[in-house]
Amino acid sequence: MTPAKNPRPLPKSHIDADGTPWVATFSIAAVDPASGEVGVAVASKFLAVGNIVPWMAAGIGSVATQALANATFGPKGLALMGQGVPASEALARLLADDPGRERRQVGFVDASGNSASHTGSGCQPWAGHRNGPGFACQGNILTGPETLDAMVEAFQTTSGPLHDRLFAALSAGDRAGGDRRGRQSAAIKVLRAGGGYQGLSDVVMDLRVDDAPDPIAELERLMELYRLYLPSGAPAEKLALQGVVLDELREMATEAGLFAGDNHTWHPALRNAIDAFTGAANLEDRIDLEARTIDKVALDYLRGERSKA
């Protein structure tokens, strides 16, 4: 991937007195009370914006902190919301204790979907925010309010899991104008209790593009890879490991040098060979060797790779 050109030095109005650059950006923090998912999507003409803006905790809520970002708003806000303090009150408490609040921009969403945002009077124009059930959308140094309006419309009209809705909002904001200085980085992160890899973490999705000419396009490419490797398909998408399907996988494992038998039925040696073969392709979340099923998307991918050989 070709790295983005080094951004031009920021105007003095975009650098604080102590030399700290403003995290000029557009973001959306959101919660889906029905699924229990929490997440943030963000983009900016700023290196590795995903390392600063998004904060969240499964079952508690999400926070996006930007402009002259106060990173303590993340853990402190989540701690308050975790104690049952509504988003608006949690945000108000933190702002009251922050002497730099007029240079901050931040959005809070709690587990119940209550949201609140703050855009300080000292944020660089255009700056503003939009709030609704389950989301807080905010941006500064934007081309104009059309960025946030497009994000809200896309978020509210897109169906599917939270990460798809967040990406739709981010992409719409980018198309509508986004950060008026240009593009550099983007990120999307979603948590759900037990929703991560092998059910052993809360991380449903955590994708970052730290420096790229078109970070939204690169983020979309990464999301397509995520959809291939990580989610386990719905029951209707699963194929039984028997008959023609089992024969295909046996042939693939044999071609890969992982199986030498000629038995066409399920047995330990064939099971282990299929396990090794699909694991080498990073498809372990797409196959269930106990239930003896494989997701159709995974088998189609393996077929495609076999045809290229």
- Tell whether 217 and 287 lie within a shared domain: no
* Nearest one of 140, 119, 113, 123 to 33, comparing CA atoms: 113
Residue 99 belongs to domain with CATH number: 3.60.20.10
The rounded distance, in Å, linking the Cα atoms of 278 and 104 is 48
Residue with the larger pLDDT of the pair 63 and 124: 63
- In the structure, what pLDDT confidence band is assigned to residue 6 with cuts at 50, 70 and 90? very low
The string of pLDDT tens digits covering residues 80-112 is 999 999 999 999 999 999 999 999 999 999 999
Q: Share the mean pLDDT of the chain.
A: 91
Whether 51 is covered by a domain: the verdict is yes
- Tell whether 300 and 152 lie within a shared domain: no
The token pair that represents 233 in the structure block: 């398909």
Whether 4 is covered by a domain: the verdict is no
- Tell whether 24 and 63 lie within a shared domain: yes
Say yes or no to pLDDT of 51 above 50. Answer: yes
Q: Give the pLDDT score at 179.
A: 79
Burial class (CB in 10 A: 0-12, 13-18, 19+), 300: exposed
Say yes or no to pLDDT of 19 above 60. Answer: no
Say yes or no to pLDDT of 2 above 60. Answer: no
Say yes or no to pLDDT of 15 above 50. Answer: no
Mean pLDDT check: name the lowest of 70-79, 164-173, 193-202, 289-298: 193-202
- Tell whether 176 and 249 lie within a shared domain: no
- Tell whether 132 and 245 lie within a shared domain: no
Q: Which domain holds residue 152?
A: 12-229
This prediction's pTM: 0.86
Residues 173-188 as b/e (b if ≥16 CB within 10 A, e otherwise) read: bbebbbbbbebbbbbb
